[in-house]
Amino acid sequence: MSDKFFDDLQRAAKHAYDNAYAPYSNFSVGAAALTFEDKIITGCNVENASYGLTVCAERNCLASGIVQGEQKFRTIVIYTETSKLTPPCGACRQVISEFLEPNAIVSATNQLGERVDWSVAELLPDAFTPKDLE
């Protein structure tokens, strides 16, 4: 991913972060995914008074892409304002594995522009994917 794409994704993820609904954890998360046509799709975490119904930023981001007719993504960036960059949770790793290739890059970044990259396969080795249903 070029630096320009990363900067655009980071900005978009920060915008989503600003809209996060996280009154219970006070832990806002934004995410931005890039399609193969260079379209940016965003999502934030949405919590609920029934805590277990919370949906993470990454899953809302990818679901929003699906709503917009996108089913394949080149990369996804996770944005938090924390010194320890935020890795995707286990449920999000599974959903990321559904829509991004094993060698696609997942990045975490923060307000300082710090960044860590993982491949999808690194985050979830031997993932159960649509190929397993063939």
SS3 130: helix
Q: Exactly one of 58, 101, 114, 134 is catalytic; which is it?
A: 58
Tell me if 56 contacts ligand THU by CB under 6 A: yes
Min separation Cβ 123 and ligand THU, Å? 10
101 is catalytic: no
Q: Which residues of 32-58 are buried (b: 16+ CB within 10 A; e: fewer)?
A: bbbbeeeebbbbbbbbeeeeeeebbbb
107 touches ligand THU by CB under 6 A: no
How far is the C-alpha of 34 from the C-alpha of 1, rounded, in Å? 10
84 binds ligand THU (CB under 6 A): no
Q: Is 121 in the site for ligand THU (CB under 6 A)?
A: no
- How far does CA 55 lie from the centroid of its chain? 12
Q: Name which of 133, 44, 132, 60 is nearest 96 in CA terms.
A: 60
CB of 25 to ligand THU, least distance (A): 4
Residues labelled as active-site residues: 58
What are the residues binding ligand THU (CB under 6 A)?
22, 25, 27, 29, 45, 47, 54, 56-58, 86, 88-89, 92
